[in-house]
Amino acid sequence: MKRQRLSRRSTAGFTLLETLVVIIMIGVMFAIAAPSWVTFTNNQRLNTVRSQIFETLRAAQADAKRTKINRAVVFDNNSNRPRMATIPVSGDSMTKDSGALITKTEVQNWQTVGNGEIAPGTIKVNAVPVPVSQNFDASVLFDTYGNVIKINNVALPTETGYKITVGVVSSVNPRRCIMIKTLLGAMQEGANEECQ
């Protein structure tokens, strides 16, 4: 009778060795899958941000045509999270009707890039050409016809165009960008090598 009880007890459950083997296997599988998951989530975040910036640029261009008031889309990387805003401007520079330069503190309609779903310090918005003595990290200025007047207070270089690049702060790739190809404001989305 005792022998039957012992054999039942010894076959129930898992041994310590079996449990350790399963834990090690799960750890190995996680180590293999983790980099792919990080890459996938970074790509999704960048695609979301690129689409949001593209739509904001298109909306500003359409508003400039509709209201017959020049519009600028401005970017700020120096806040906790990158942000952008669309503002009306006077003439062909980043000024108010009085002629004074518009500053970051005067902009009221900042919109967080990524709609607040992206952790602070993860993504950065870059612009080429680099801003020249400007208050904002990047800006695109549309006239009343929807044409690009200036980018970062510089006339659009027709041979190279202009790129707003969005990338993960911790690595070189992946990259996403919006390319403004012509003075008429033709825009195209790009990825990785196109954004160099």
pLDDT band at 105 (very low <50, low <70, confident <90, very high): confident
Predicted confidence (pLDDT) per residue in 16-61, tens digit: 898 999 999 999 988 888 888 878 887 888 888 888 888 988 999 9
The contacts of residue 108 (CB under 8 Å, 6+ apart) are: 85
CB 159 within 8 A of CB 150: no
pLDDT for 90 beyond 90:
no
Distances (CA, A) of 22 to 16, 18, 19, 26, 29: 10, 6, 5, 6, 11
What's residue 107's pLDDT?
Answer: 79
Task: Please work out, in degrees rounded to the nearest 5, the angle formed at the alpha carbon of residue 93 by the alpha carbons of 126 and 164.
Answer: 15
Asked whether 53 and 165 are in contact (CB, 8 A), the reply is: no
CATH of 17-195, one of 3.40.50.10950, 3.20.20.150, 3.30.465.10, 3.55.40.10: 3.55.40.10
The residue ranges of every structural domain in the chain are: 17-195
Q: Would you say the pTM of this structure is higher than 0.75?
A: no
